[in-house]
Chains A and B, each alone.
Chain A
Amino acid sequence: MTGSYLRTYFLAKYITSNAPALAKLITPLQGFLIETNGYRKMGLRYDDLIAEENPIVQKAINRLPPKEYYDRVFRIRRAHQLSLMHQLLPKEEYLKPEEDVRYLTPYILEVEAEMKEREYFDTMAVVTK
């Protein structure tokens, strides 16, 4: 799950930095997708949607600064409550685009790099010259 999430993340990064024409074509779609997805209307950030039921994301969540961790739990609980009541936040409380920060992604990438490195060292072959 995280793997596919990261692939999308890297693909998006790659497109924005290496294929400006394609990026120009796709970017307007972004607003439309976010609008239809509607997570900002429930006060969530994009990183709140990442599936957390795996060791990598669990570890990343544990590494969040205490304030970030608290805010994440708050947003998710609020969203649960809204979902239960079949409601959206009042319009002025929608998450603003500038508030939609990738607060968790750097930690996920860090944990994933660590796991990759461990795997690399656990399966390495020593070559004698």
Chain B
Amino acid sequence: MLVSSTSACLRRAASSSARANASRSLATAAADLGFESSTVDGIKMATKDIAGPITTLSFVIKAGSRYATVPGVAHALQRFAYQNTPKRSGLRLTRETELLGGSLTSELTRDSIILTARFLKDDLPYFFEALSDVFAQPTLARHELAEIVGPLLKLDAKLADADATFVASEGINSAAYRKGLGLPLYAQATDAISIDTVRAYKDAVYTKSNLAIVASGADISTLSDLVSSYLETAPAGTASSTPASTFYGGELRIPTTAGNLLSFGYASDVSPTFNVLASVLGGASSIKWSYGASLLSTTAGKAYAKVTPYNGSSLLTITATGSPAEITSAGAAAVDALQTVAAGVSPEILKKGIAGAKFDALYALEGPAGLASVGKTLLASGSVPAASSIVSEIESVTAESVKSLAEKILSEKIAAVAVGKVSELPYADELGLKA
């Protein structure tokens, strides 16, 4: 008797869950990165149900600094994460997280605001509810801006100013893009951010169409149920539009005591050639205490190349560090390396470059920031990135295209930034570049 009633119960549960599933779009099968994806209530979701005791849950929101209506407002909104909501105070959320064991982080990039919770698998409902609450109905009280968030904004800006690498990257972005991606990441002292601007920005960007939920260690049906129970009432809104990024270029010289750095960058539409060229130039060693074998690691001085992938644009930067004298020689060596590439790329070097670029591109989807990258792609393209297509795109890069990109960087106007003792650092035209 008992058995039959239990099985009837199970049948009921199964049929109701089947009905619930019918109202959703069908979850796609696990792709090659191991993510299953689905759309529930207009919210894009992707999850990797890996074995293990820890779940990582990320809310990736299309609300980064490039969408800021007032410079710095995205930074303020990011720092408002995990403050008071009508359901619980910020203090309660912090203490309860400590009691359950877990960590809550928020991160701001040019493309997104990312709210991440890491916790023990069993606590998924609690943390899902907490993140939904933070996303859907933050109180955004005026006194929180004055007492908590405001000082944090100042602290972030101060710390960033003391980091020469960050100052250089801000400079490169501002010279390269001016607006949009060129807006400063953090609120500056000159930005007057009022609570009304933060509230207006929140209303515009914290919407279901701007949200991607990405998790590892959770299964898709549980997540779907949680979305229906906690995010159904969140505003649907419209997705923030991402205007095409124009590359301008130009030279900035920023005097600071934070350190010396010379950086130049070139950007254009997203292309795997950028990744391969960065990998060919290299500069960073993948093994400790060794120099590596890429072009930049075998030249004098310390310089490295890097690609920053934004939605709609790839930015390649070459950065030289050290004392002003070292930077001058490393900068010249970097231009030499570019000229070597522009003269022609041998098949071995191309092969090495492609292998490095493949690893970097795939590791970006796997490593600590992996969920954020997956969420960003999910929002931009509507589907989870496929490792196979990333690999085939990078493998299709030819020696000719890498060569012509290097030629472009040498002949066209680029973005250049000198940070530190600017009187002793070279100008771009002294190195034979146009800025």
Contact = CB atoms under 8 A, between A and B. Distances in A.
Tell me which of B89, B91, B95, B143 has the highest count of chain A C-beta atoms within 10 A of its own C-beta: B143
A117 B89 contact: yes
**Shortest 10 CB-CB distances between A and B: which pairs?**
A63-B143, A121-B95, A117-B91, A118-B91, A117-B89, A121-B91, A117-B92, A126-B99, A114-B89, A121-B92
| Interface of chain B: mostly helix, strand, loop or mixed | helix
A49 B314 CA distance: 62
Nearest to A122: B95
Contacts of A114: 89, 91
Contacts of B154: none
B142 interface: yes
Contacts of A63: 142-143, 146
Interface of B: 89, 91-92, 95, 99, 142-143, 146
A4 B426 CA distance: 70
Interface in A51-68: 62-63, 65
Contacts of B92: 117, 121
Nearest to B143: A63
Q: Is the interface of A mostly helix, strand, loop or mixed?
A: helix
A62 B92 CA distance: 23
Given A121-B95, A126-B99, A65 B89 contact: no
Given A62-B146, A121-B92, A126-B99, 13 more contacts: A62-B143, A63-B142, A63-B143, A63-B146, A65-B142, A114-B89, A114-B91, A117-B89, A117-B91, A117-B92, A118-B91, A121-B91, A121-B95
A118 B89 CA distance: 10
B147 to A, nearest CB: 8
A100 to B, nearest CB: 24
Nearest to A124: B95
A65 B194 CA distance: 12
A88 to B, nearest CB: 35
Nearest to A107: B143
A29 to B, nearest CB: 36
A121 B98 CA distance: 11
Interface string A25-69: 000000000000000000000000000000000000011010000
Contacts of B89: 114, 117
Nearest to B94: A121
Contacts of A118: 91
Nearest to A63: B143
B270 to A, nearest CB: 47
5 contacts: A65-B142, A118-B91, A121-B91, A121-B92, A126-B99
A121 B96 CA distance: 9
A126 B99 CA distance: 9
A85 B6 CA distance: 86
A44 to B, nearest CB: 24
Interface in A63-88: 63, 65
Nearest to B88: A117
Contacts of A62: 143, 146
A81 B431 CA distance: 72
Contacts of B91: 114, 117-118, 121
Nearest to B95: A121
Interface string A81-118: 00000000000000000000000000000000010011
Contacts of B146: 62-63
A54 B113 CA distance: 39
Contacts of B95: 121
A24 B374 CA distance: 66
A121 B99 CA distance: 11
Contacts of A65: 142
Nearest to A113: B89
Nearest to B99: A126
A117 B92 CA distance: 8
B124 to A, nearest CB: 20
Contacts of B142: 63, 65
A121 B91 CA distance: 9
Contacts of A121: 91-92, 95
Contacts of A117: 89, 91-92
A19 B3 CA distance: 57
B86 to A, nearest CB: 13
Contacts of A126: 99
B139 to A, nearest CB: 11
A63 B195 CA distance: 13
A63 B92 CA distance: 21
A57 B296 CA distance: 62
A58 to B, nearest CB: 12
B110 to A, nearest CB: 33
B22 to A, nearest CB: 39
